[in-house]
């Protein structure tokens, strides 16, 4: 009984805080839920956001700015060595000088691979 009550309190607290922050969690949650329930055409949704991602990369990420790509298959395949060698060129100009979250792989595969995430 207490587990159910605690869970309900946590859930309501989460959504209340999210509402106060502008629904940054609720909006994507509702979209994912709609896709999963079939209310949104998943392929159409994916194509739309993939086009937006490609456009963003070409406009804001120096590594991709000189590539004449219109679909994901036109982009070059890169690996972590390519990204390490061209680290600055893979940083979005929009986020380059802003404080954002840094993630890295563990040492178990050798040298850690560090990426910045907004």
Q: Which two tokens stand for residue 32?
A: 């994912």
Q: What is the pLDDT of residues 82-118, one digit of tens each?
A: 988 998 898 888 887 788 888 887 766 677 777 777 7
- Whether the CB-CB separation of 106 and 112 falls below 8 Å is answered with yes
CA distance 83 to 59: 18
Phi and psi, residue 50, nearest 5°? -70, -40
Q: What is the pLDDT of residues 13-52, one digit of tens each?
A: 999 999 999 989 999 899 999 999 999 899 999 999 899 9
pLDDT at position 109 is: 65
pLDDT at position 103 is: 82
Looking at per-residue pLDDT, the higher value among 2 and 72 belongs to 72
**Given the structure tokens 């607290």, which residue do they identify?**
13
- Whether the CB-CB separation of 31 and 40 falls below 8 Å is answered with yes
Q: What is the mean pLDDT of the chain?
A: 86
**Given the structure tokens 């502008």, which residue do they identify?**
22
By the 10 Å C-beta count (0-12 exposed, 13-18 middle, 19+ buried), 35 is classed as: middle
CA distance 57 to 92: 8
CA distance 33 to 103: 28
Percentage with pLDDT > 90 across the chain: 32
């Amino acid at each position: 009984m207490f587990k159910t009550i605690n869970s309900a309190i946590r859930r309501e607290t989460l959504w209340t805080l999210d509402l106060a922050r502008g629904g940054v969690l609720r909006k994507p949650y509702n979209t994912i839920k709609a896709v999963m329930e079939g209310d949104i055409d998943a392929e159409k949704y994916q194509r739309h956001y993939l086009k937006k991602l490609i456009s963003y990369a070409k406009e804001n990420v120096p590594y991709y700015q000189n590539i004449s790509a219109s679909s994901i298959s036109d982009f070059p395949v890169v690996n972590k060595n390519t990204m390490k060698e061209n680290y600055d060129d893979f940083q979005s100009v929009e986020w380059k000088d802003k404080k954002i979250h840094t993630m890295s792989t563990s040492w178990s595969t050798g040298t850690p691979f560090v990426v910045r995430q907004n």
